[in-house]
Amino acid sequence: MAAKIINGNEIAAEIREELKKEVALMKEKHGVVPGLVTILVGKNPASVSYVTGKQKTAHELGFYSMQDDQPEDIPEAALLALVDKYNKDPKIHGILVQLPLPKHINEKRVLNAIDPDKDVDCFHPVNIGRLVIGGSEARFLPCTPAGIQELIVRSGVPTSGADVVVVGRSNIVGKPIAIIMMQKGKGANSTVTVVHTGSRNMEAHCRRADILIVAAGVPGLVKPDWIKPGACVIDVGVNRVGEKKSEKTGRMVPILKGDVDFDAAKEIAGAITPVPGGVGPMTITMLMKNTVLSAKSSIK
């Protein structure tokens, strides 16, 4: 039987509706409006498109949101001073510095300068530490992993005691999703294995997975015979494999391919995310969720 297709666009829209209501209520009851600033250095086209999407969503949800564009040659000290300005601004609850930054800037230094309580990307070591400890210590969840967990839970896939196999050990997806899924609690409590480029027999591990999360950045890496029949497959890969003319705009747009051979895998899996339209739409939505959470905790 063909797999259920997990529709990230629909689930993200559902969460945004919930957030919109929460924002309106917060405004009405407490006079607090979630504030998000996105800082963009330079004009990298992909980054421009990402921050535009983040700003658009923030506006739609009723946030106080602003885009702060800085020139490519901004000195690191000036960028650090800007971050500090927003750290001190009570109207701002979330600060996002769009990556990558130009080579002359130490990315780690800039990210670590963000107040952990406004770090809605959840890149700061303090927030990663809180995430690892878990329970009431955890504050923000990193956006893509949080989106993955929402997709799994809202698709009705059981997680407690499930064998979860994560392919990839990046700091922004592989490591944090492994931590999230192993924590005690709802939507988690799984037995987690992480496989990576140093793993022996990656396929054998994948074949055991009730939930297979693939974030390797290798187009079509996971073959259909790596998938246990009925498994839930979450494909985080967004690989540009070429370009095509958009039917809507006539402009050239990238052709995206996931890390999983989708057409074949959907005949074996029980549920699967497509690329695009699976994990992708969730990331921005979870950034909004973190900003709402941050605003909520500012209420005395």
| Catalytically active residues, by annotation | 54, 98, 121
What is the spatial distance between Cα 103 and Cα 214, in angstroms, rounded to a whole number?
29
Among 97, 179, 192, 232, binds ligand GUN (CB under 6 A): 97
Does 190 engage in binding with ligand GUN (CB under 6 A)?
Answer: no
Among 143, 272, 279, 282, binds ligand GUN (CB under 6 A): 143
How are beta strands 64-70 and 4-5 bridged, if at all? unpaired
Other beta carbons within 10 angstroms of residue 135's beta carbon come to 9
Among 98, 155, 273, 291, binds ligand GUN (CB under 6 A): 98
What is the spatial distance between Cα 299 and Cα 292, in angstroms, rounded to a whole number?
11
State the binding string over 18-57 for ligand GUN (x if CB under 6 A, else -): --------------------------------x-------
- Whether residue 285 contacts residue 57, with contact meaning beta carbons closer than 8 Å, is answered with yes
Nearer to ligand GUN, 50 or 140 (CB): 50
Nearer to ligand GUN, 26 or 143 (CB): 143
Q: Which residue is nearest to ligand GUN (CB)?
A: 99
Nearer to ligand GUN, 5 or 99 (CB): 99
> Residue 56: which H helix or E strand, with range?
helix 45-60
CB of 40 to ligand GUN, least distance (A): 10
Beta bridge partners of 167: 195, 214
How far CA 195 is from CA of 145, 163, 192, 201, 203, in Å, comes to 16, 13, 10, 9, 9
Does 146 engage in binding with ligand GUN (CB under 6 A)?
Answer: no
How is residue 37 written in tokens? 């600033």
Q: Which of residues 106-125 bind ligand GUN (CB under 6 A)?
A: 121
CB of 5 to ligand GUN, least distance (A): 24
